[in-house]
């Protein structure tokens, strides 16, 4: 009956219940539909009366269902607006972000300093031909650095190894570029050293190379002093000591005056007042010539700096192992 249908409708409180009511009365097997289907069994007088009544009820029901549906939808939307509400004023949880490794910080500083002086950055392979790491750098067969207990060889015939310095990049650049050349080449190098406070079998160097007409030791000193003052502060003193490298002549080692110095008890320089920072020199004429550059026309200087050592000094750290251990207590200080 109509009252029954209207009551069921009023009780339907969500979309699913409403649909059940629609099916019950207006569906294919619904009650109203059943009445309309049985019309054939009625007498000619009854038929129009019942038919009209049934159609009226159907129309009224359809309208009521539509109204109810709109009401339910409104109610459900209001419910969702409450249950899915976001309070955008709640303070966020702090995301802990990582730190740059101290060596990356110092490497970037060094790159900036050199780029500011007109250098560009060159790269070379870590698995290197002995020809580039030794022969063309004037390091003859039989030299101690070529021994198996110093170098990580890859081939039995000693023709390929993990480079033990960044100097082979000098050779690669000189062979492929005509002067003027002004490059630095940062990268990993490998030596068979035991790990301790000052050694690691893998460490990083920054190679530098300048080749042009009229380059002198004065240019080398000026460039390195500029680097040191920018890295460690204006007025930081350097000391150039004579040394020997097969690929430079003359050669030197450069010390930096300890700026952390607490005298004899100093952790950084062990009380010596000076810290060795790098090796350098004027590119050997044999090396220039071997790379196709005429040593009577051009001259050049080169240097190689240990990046770990630069970093330890920069932050007055006294143990290189800290650089590689990735202990968060250490890293989070930078």
Binding site for Mg(2+): which residues?
249
Q: Residues interacting with ligand PHE, by CB under 6 A?
A: 165, 167, 245, 248, 279-281, 302-304
Closest chain position to ligand PHE (CB): 304
Closest CA to 316 of 271, 267, 250: 267
Of 54 and 210, which has the nearer Cβ to ligand PHE?
A: 210
Of 12 and 302, which has the nearer Cβ to ligand PHE?
A: 302
Of 113 and 252, which has the nearer Cβ to ligand PHE?
A: 252
Closest CA to 300 of 204, 143, 175, 181: 181
Query: Shortest distance, CB of residue 156 to ligand PHE, whole angstroms?
Result: 25
Query: Shortest distance, CB of residue 97 to ligand PHE, whole angstroms?
Result: 36
Sorted by sequence, the CB contacts under 8 Å of residue 323 that are 6+ apart come out as 101, 102, 103, 308, 311, 312, 317
Of 9 and 167, which has the nearer Cβ to ligand PHE?
A: 167
- Is 124 within 8 Å of 97 (Cβ atoms)? no
Sorted by sequence, the CB contacts under 8 Å of residue 97 that are 6+ apart come out as none
Q: How many helices (H) and strands (E) does the chain have?
A: 12, 9
Query: Shortest distance, CB of residue 334 to ligand PHE, whole angstroms?
Result: 26
Query: Shortest distance, CB of residue 167 to ligand PHE, whole angstroms?
Result: 4
Of 279 and 290, which has the nearer Cβ to ligand PHE?
A: 279
DSSP string, 93-126: PPPPP----HHHHHHHHHHHHHHHTT-EE----S
Query: Shortest distance, CB of residue 93 to ligand PHE, whole angstroms?
Result: 48
Burial 116-128 (b: 16+ CB within 10 A, else e): eeebeebebeeeb
Summarize the annotated binding site as residue ranges.
249
- Cα distances from 98 to residues 168, 194, 329, in angstroms, run 34, 30, 12
Query: Shortest distance, CB of residue 296 to ligand PHE, whole angstroms?
Result: 21
Of 132 and 303, which has the nearer Cβ to ligand PHE?
A: 303
Q: What's the rounded Cα separation, in Å, for the pair 271 and 269?
A: 5
């Amino acid at each position: 009956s109509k009252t029954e249908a209207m009551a069921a409708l009023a009780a339907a409180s969500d979309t699913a219940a409403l649909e059940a009511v629609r099916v019950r009365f207006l569906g294919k097997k619904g009650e109203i539909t059943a009445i309309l289907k049985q019309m054939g069994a009625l007498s000619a007088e009854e038929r129009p009366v019942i038919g009209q009544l049934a159609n009226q009820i159907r129309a009224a029901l359809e309208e009521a269902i539509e109204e109810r549906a709109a009401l339910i939808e409104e109610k459900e939307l209001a419910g969702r607006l409450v249950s899915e509400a976001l309070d955008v004023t709640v303070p966020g949880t702090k995301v802990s972000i990582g730190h740059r490794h101290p060596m990356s910080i110092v490497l970037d500083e060094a790159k900036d300093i050199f780029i500011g002086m007109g250098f560009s950055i060159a790269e070379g392979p870590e698995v290197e031909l002995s020809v580039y790491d030794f022969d063309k750098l004037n390091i003859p067969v039989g030299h101690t650095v070529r021994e198996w207990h110093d170098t990580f060889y890859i081939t039995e015939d000693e023709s390929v190894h993990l480079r033990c310095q960044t100097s082979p990049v000098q050779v690669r650049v000189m062979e492929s570029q005509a002067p003027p050349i002004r490059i630095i080449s940062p990268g990993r190098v490998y030596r068979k050293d035991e790990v301790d406070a000052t050694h690691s079998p893998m460490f990083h160097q920054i190679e530098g190379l300048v080749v042009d007409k009229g380059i002198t030791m004065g240019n080398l000193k000026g460039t390195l002093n500029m680097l040191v003052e920018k890295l460690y502060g204006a007025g930081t003193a350097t000391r150039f000591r004579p040394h020997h490298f097969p690929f430079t002549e003359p050669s030197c080692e450069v010390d930096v005056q300890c700026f952390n110095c607490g005298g004899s008890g100093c952790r950084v320089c062990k009380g010596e007042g000076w810290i060795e920072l790098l090796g350098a020199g004027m590119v050997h004429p044999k090396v220039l010539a071997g790379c196709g550059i005429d040593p009577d026309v051009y001259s050049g200087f080169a240097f190689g700096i240990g990046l770990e050592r630069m970093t330890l000094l920069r932050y007055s750290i006294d143990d290189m192992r800290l650089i590689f251990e990735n202990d968060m207590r250490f890293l989070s200080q930078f």
